[in-house]
Chains A and B, each alone.
Chain A
Amino acid sequence: MEDGLSTPVGTRRSFFVKTTVFISSLIGISLAVPLIGYVIAPAFQRRPKEWVSLGKTDELPIEEPKALDYSLTEKDGWQERHATKGVWAVKQADGHVTVYSPICPHLGCGFRWDQQDRLFKCPCHGSIFNIDGTVKAGPAPRPLDTLPSKIENGNLLIQYEEFKSGLAKKVEL
């Protein structure tokens, strides 16, 4: 064969092979990193927490749980959705207010307040909680989940959060 017109052999061949493999890997990695990040990033994005007002605290009865509803705009990807959420608020005699997430820490059902027994009861699996949130009976692994709350100018403000169910410790979702 004449020079340059035969298939390369030896070290010359292995140079072409190795460089080709290197180039393919370079293109592959440069594409894989942004593309994988692009697909999984929204799954790890935390929603921004906002303080929402639930109204005046002086309207709350003392030592008497009250279901408070409020509406908010939730971002769901590119869509904005109006949602109504309810929480349980218990005002103590000293004016302090405890706010419970409406979701049972056992497996995520909605519990109710039984006025007669003065207990929170979950209808799904029979967990029962005292008014201070502690577990009285049933399979619930931890007390009712409290939500971050504060009082400003007589207004009750909360941050809505959700927690993993079924764990002994409160872990935010």
Chain B
Amino acid sequence: MASRFYQWIDRRLRLKPLEQTLLNEPIPGGASWNYVFGSATLFLFGLQALTGMFLMVYYVPATDHAYSTVQYIQHEVWGGWFVRGLHHWGASAVMMAIGLHMLQVFFDGAYKRPRELMWIVGVILLAMMLAFGFTGYLLPWDQNAYWATQVGINMVGSVPLIGDFLVKVLRGGETLGALTLSRFFAFHVAFLPAAIVFGIMLHLFILRRVGPAGPHDEARANAGSETFYPRQVFMDALVMLGVFGIVSILAISVEFPLADRANPSDHTFIPVPEWYFLFFYELLKYAPGALGPLATWLLPTLFFTGLLLLPFVDRNPERHPSSRRVVLAGGLSFLIVVFGLLGISLRDLYAVPKRDPSVARGIALVQEFKCQTCHRIHGEGANLAPDLSFVADRRPDRNWHIQHFKNPAAVNPGSFMPKFPLNDQQLNDLTSYMLTLKSG
């Protein structure tokens, strides 16, 4: 049935030569599990595109709806948690697949002449994937999204001369807000996908023009070849199934909850970037003072410049690892630094005390009693009563706050603040929150 249909189409569109070109590309040295990483990356990118489109069915990129729509997807739409889980874990998986793909190409010396262009396009694709990760992270508009993006944008601000300009362009305004969200959304779902599809096509076009590199071992490479179809396709498919299985199991079993809705006035929140940015986050801790800004822009610039120039710096035509000890040692030291920093960062993250629950309850009480009808806290609220943004600088004494909440006029004669009906725990919680409001 399928073949009769295919023949019917083939008689009209003459697909056979196309099929020949697509599937019968010879692979020197035969199919191998070493070559599955590119296909796995492509598969995961497709999965991201698909789940992303489906997320857009309900997602609204506006600050007053983004969080509720993600909540709606997560908790109310049938299967929504699974679709979001696939997209979340798929993002991590695609980064891993790219990492493994690049390692394989690096180890096999497959970036060398005549494949320099394929490597360069690949490095640009890596940068685009990181941009996907960065822009996508803001979209749920929860506390983590907001504050991690704030940090990310501030890092861009350290670029000399044009830093301020870049920050303004990224934010779309003076502060991170509605305009930032809508432009991050547009980049995440329209500009970047269009650009990356072009990049992927170019990457594959170059692959077909120069052909696969094959094994670094000449004896194996010269032993013969086999076509891409069916054995390499079969291996790729098996790996795709494995990858899909892992991402699905993660989506089903590891919940990825939203933090609270983004609150620009809550400076107590400690954001955590995605794990693939974590090593860099950790590195910044070791770059004190004047070195800080250099680390935030100089290192990434050096990293990408180094990658782009690699095929031109390492011109040794030899691909076998045993003849490339210096380059491989360089790559290995880079990996040790990255994974060392990632390890330290992960260890520290789990040691970070989570926010004091008392402070969290205090923040909720401020909302409940509508304190911001009169007080301003970090730019939010009216200006009728004293600004509380840094109240702990002026009033560091716990007891003062408790007495003041009990009877404002008794502690502060002439105060028109009402006595709120607070029990002891509420007094303590509110005071705990007040004491976190300090400049230092």
Contact = CB atoms under 8 A, between A and B. Distances in A.
Contacts of A83: none
Contacts of A27: 240-241, 244
B227 interface: yes
Contact of B83 (A7, A35, A42): A35
A24 B237 contact: yes
A5 B54 contact: no
B238 A23 contact: yes
A6 B223 CA distance: 10
Nearest to A42: B77
Given A35-B54, A77-B58, A41 B79 contact: yes
Given A16-B233, A23-B240, A39-B57, A78 B79 contact: no
A45 to B, nearest CB: 8
A39 B248 contact: no
Given A8-B230, A27-B244, 11 more contacts: A4-B30, A5-B223, A20-B237, A23-B237, A26-B241, A34-B82, A35-B54, A41-B78, A77-B72, A78-B65, A78-B72
B77 A5 contact: no
Q: Is the interface of A mostly helix, strand, loop or mixed?
A: helix
B22 to A, nearest CB: 14
Interface in B191-213: none
Given A23-B238, A39-B57, A2 B223 contact: yes
Contact of A16 (B65, B76, B230): B230
23 contacts: A1-B224, A2-B223, A4-B30, A5-B223, A5-B224, A5-B226, A6-B226, A7-B230, A19-B238, A20-B234, A23-B237, A23-B238, A23-B241, A27-B244, A37-B78, A38-B80, A38-B82, A41-B79, A42-B78, A77-B72, A78-B65, A78-B69, A79-B65
A7 B72 contact: no
Interface of A: 1-2, 4-8, 13, 16-17, 19-20, 23-24, 26-27, 30-31, 34-35, 37-39, 41-42, 77-79
A16 B68 contact: no
Nearest to B226: A7
B207 to A, nearest CB: 19
Contact of B77 (A7, A31, A38): A38
B61 interface: no
Contacts of B82: 34, 38
B29 A5 contact: yes
Contacts of A37: 78-79
A78 B233 CA distance: 43
A1 to B, nearest CB: 5
A38 B79 contact: yes
A79 B248 CA distance: 30
B226 A79 contact: no
B225 interface: yes
B79 A34 contact: yes
B68 A38 contact: no
B227 A7 contact: yes
Nearest to A22: B237
A77 B431 CA distance: 38
B52 to A, nearest CB: 12
B150 interface: no
B239 to A, nearest CB: 10
